[in-house]
Structure 1
Amino acid sequence: MGNFIGLFIFNNREIAIGFWSLIFFIWCLSKKEIRHSILDVIKIVFSKWIIIIFILSTTYIGIVIFLLYKLKFWNIFMLKDSIIWYIFVSSSMIIKGMLSKKEEKFFRNEIIECFSLTLMFDLVINTFDFGLLIEIIVFPIILIVVLMIEFGKHRKEYEALVDPMNKILNFSGVIIIVYSVLSIIKNYKIFFTIDSLKAFLLPQILILMYLPFIYIMFIYSKYETIFIKFKISHEIPEIVVLYIKLRIILKYNFYVYNAEEFFFINWYKIRTVRTKKEFDIILNNNIQ
């Protein structure tokens, strides 16, 4: 039992983030308007579509982790980091991927980010933390500074805030990096280990192995958007609608933008279709 609990020991930074997240959640619950909004979000989260994505995503990640375990890379002590990655990173990737207008840009950015130098800084910064009290005090200050920078970027009257807030953020970053580097030098035997290397590589490997799933979800969501017109038009027999969807997917498969263009150009003809043969004529006459 003790070993199992040990798997979920959080460092001071994670405790500080959890503490302020709990405070923010309690504050939200104290506001009537926000409570109603939370209920709306909960209804969306437990919608049929979201539950299906959750089940598919969980199954996929489970298979990935099992493969990493078989390859002697993943072990039970990575469980906490894997769960945190799944909750925050994978969900963010799904949202960004499905909302992305150009999948090439999204996937290129994700791959570049996996191999960016900033990840080394993340490793250095996150390996060692300050005392719990300092972390609890520093976290909201850094968060407020970041929010003020973003606010200043989008509101002209507050543009003057951006430069001084950036200086404060940069100065804080330098202090954290210097402290972390000194801690690494002092505790180099802890930092330069195989386990540390695995912990550093785990999020990047999970991201790279998760991209095929995101791509499939992206393709599916695009086809759902293309076929949404069938929900508006009820004149085409259901069996013919199913046939049209199947033929379009088989013809264009991963080339969803070609399918989108075909549908846009030929919708005025497709909506008059009543038989499979009529649609075959439209599809065969298409030059794409």
Structure 2
Amino acid sequence: MDAIQSIFNNREIALVVWVIIAIIIGLFTKVGRGFLKSVLPIVFSRKFVVFYIVFLSFFSLTVLYLYHTSFWDLSLLKNTVFWVIFVFIPIFVKTIEDAKDGRFFAKLIKENLAFIVIIEFILNFWTFNLAVEMLTIPIALFLGGVYAVASREEKTVIVKKFIDGLFVAFGIVIIIFTLYNLIRSPGEILNIKTLKEFLLPILLLFMNLPVVYGLALYNTYEQIFVRLKVEPKEQKKFKRLLFRFAGINLMKVTSLKNNLMRTTNLSKTAEELKQNLREFERYLNTRIGDNYMKRPQFYILSCIIMIIICLSGIIASNSTVGLKDLVTFNFILDIAKIKQIVTYVLSTALAISICFLIYLIGFRKRKYEEISQIKKFALQDLLLLIKYQNRMLQDFPPVEDPQKLFAQYISIIYDIKRECDKAIVTYENLLTYWELETLKRLQTYTALLISTIGIDDIESYSAEEFGIFFNDKKTTSIQNEKINIYTSDVERDLKKYSEQIKLCMEIFKVNV
């Protein structure tokens, strides 16, 4: 046991034990075997297996490189395995669902470089004894399940608040315990080994981003290819033309996927597709929302590349060692005349590049503020409605009180649907494609909710008349022991609608 604890901490041992118990239960129960039979064919489908091979090959090369630079050794094997299981696999799932452009990857990097990552690393560094950790995991899972159920209904909100309090108390205990250990033995965390353990997941993420990007690209192309409705002999030509058009530009591929009605759906032959792609290219080039920030982004990227080149040149010009030592910053300065000249030139270029970078970051911010103001002016009526609706949102929509529901949701939903329709038609060219996609989703959810409610024109209804209509629909709807189908459908659609309102607040940066 001591040998195991020298490799794994108590929390990791407890986690592994409970995972093994869960697997055993899954293998020897009917429900577990049924779940595995439904999931395993998907997880080990041919396309996923190909990705696993590609990822493991690329991942092995990155680890081999880190080993070659003396950063990685066997003491980091455990951290590496845990990173793959608990970080990369969730990223794999998120990539399939959400990766549509560079914003996804920028957000991914920000999340992994945020200050909270350092806090979490420190909090997880010290653990309780094994018995406490073994008890903590099932209790946390149980409370998490109860919390999820209690969050669904207003009558169980007291249970939800009680569990919130338990989690806060437990968090305070962990923080106090960690601070005590940090003060008592700071040397345990302030050393090279700990620094490597902290930097390893960040390095692995950055070095494996090409695989994640490739997965997103492959997944998006697959969604396009499966929708091709042409003769088999034309499919290969279509695929070549589509790839030649979008290449490895994920944003362009996603735009293509979202506009198949303009391209593939209108094309029966390769020649027709060529013509439609040319027209679609012209359409993309005239989109203000997607193109307005391209020039400052290009300038900033150029400055960053120039800074990297200059720094690399300065180091190379003042070093007598090889590439491996340069990468690991293990070099010795040389004062040779020629190298001094190169250093002076590159230092000047470095200073200029940094000055330009600072200026262009400000330039980009100014241009972003300009386009944001234009959008806010153009979408003023819609954004005011979204802001108002966001203030009226409730954790539990008042479906049991139709008149209150009418005032807080229904009367606003129809106005938002009308403004959404107008904004999408009028200002499509002004919006970036993800802003447009966000509004289209809001349009879809409002339309779905209006269809579920069953009223085409809400303006002819007062709050009292809506209450009568709602209660009539509720009475005549199918009802089982606990659930009324009508109110259940309204609640479901209101939840989707509320989430989209919050997303619009975030995307369009509407002031609360």
Same fold flag (TM > 0.5): yes
Corresponding position of 1:250: 244
Q: Which amino acid aligns with 1:33?
A: V
Alpha-carbon separation, structure 2, partners of 1:155 and 1:103 = 36
Alpha-carbon separation, structure 1, partners of 2:201 and 2:14 = 22
Q: Measured at CA, do residues 281 and 155 of structure 1 come closer, stay the same or move farther in structure 2, by a change above 3 Å?
A: same
Q: Does 1:121 align with 2:119?
A: yes
* SS of corresponding position for 1:69: helix
Alpha-carbon separation, structure 2, partners of 1:175 and 1:6 = 26
TM superposition shift of 1:143: 2.4
Alpha-carbon separation, structure 2, partners of 1:7 and 1:17 = 13
Corresponding position of 1:59: 57
Alpha-carbon separation, structure 1, partners of 2:155 and 2:25 = 29
CA RMSD of aligned residues (A): 2.3
Q: Which runs of 4+ in 1 moved over 6 A?
A: 5-8
Q: Does 1:27 align with 2:25?
A: yes
The partner residue of 2:129 within 124, 128, 131 is 131
TM superposition shift of 1:28: 2.7
Corresponding position of 1:38: 36
Alpha-carbon separation, structure 2, partners of 1:157 and 1:96 = 33
Alpha-carbon separation, structure 2, partners of 1:65 and 1:138 = 33
Match runs of 1:69-108 below 5 Å? 69-100=67-98, 102-108=100-106
Q: Does 1:236 align with 2:234?
A: no
* SS of corresponding position for 1:128: coil
Q: Measured at CA, do residues 188 and 261 of structure 1 come closer, stay the same or move farther in structure 2, by a change above 3 Å?
A: closer
Q: Does 1:264 align with 2:261?
A: yes
The partner residue of 1:280 within 274, 281, 301 is 274
* SS of corresponding position for 1:73: coil
Alpha-carbon separation, structure 2, partners of 1:30 and 1:237 = 46
TM superposition shift of 1:278: 4.4
Q: Which has the higher contact order (CA 8 A, sep 6+)?
A: 1
The partner residue of 1:141 within 139, 142, 151 is 139
TM superposition shift of 1:25: 2.4
Alpha-carbon separation, structure 1, partners of 2:130 and 2:200 = 26
* SS of corresponding position for 1:229: coil
Deviation larger for 143-152 or 133-142: 143-152
Alpha-carbon separation, structure 1, partners of 2:50 and 2:93 = 14
Any idea what the Cα deviations from partners look like across 1:40-98, whole Å, max 9, x if unmatched? 21222221111111111111111221222233322221011101111221111111011
Alpha-carbon separation, structure 1, partners of 2:155 and 2:100 = 33
* SS of corresponding position for 1:127: coil
Alpha-carbon separation, structure 1, partners of 2:155 and 2:55 = 43
Corresponding position of 2:362: none
Q: Does 1:14 align with 2:36?
A: no
Tell me how many residue pairs correspond in the alignment.
Answer: 277
Cα pair 1:7 1:79 within 8 Å, conserved: no
Alpha-carbon separation, structure 1, partners of 2:104 and 2:122 = 27
Q: Which amino acid aligns with 1:267?
A: T
Gaps of 5+ in 1: none
Corresponding position of 1:111: 109
Match runs of 1:121-270 below 5 Å? 121-230=119-228, 233=229, 235-238=230-233, 240-253=234-247, 254=249, 255-270=252-267
TM superposition shift of 1:105: 4.3
TM superposition shift of 1:280: 3.1
Q: Which has the larger radius of gyration?
A: 2
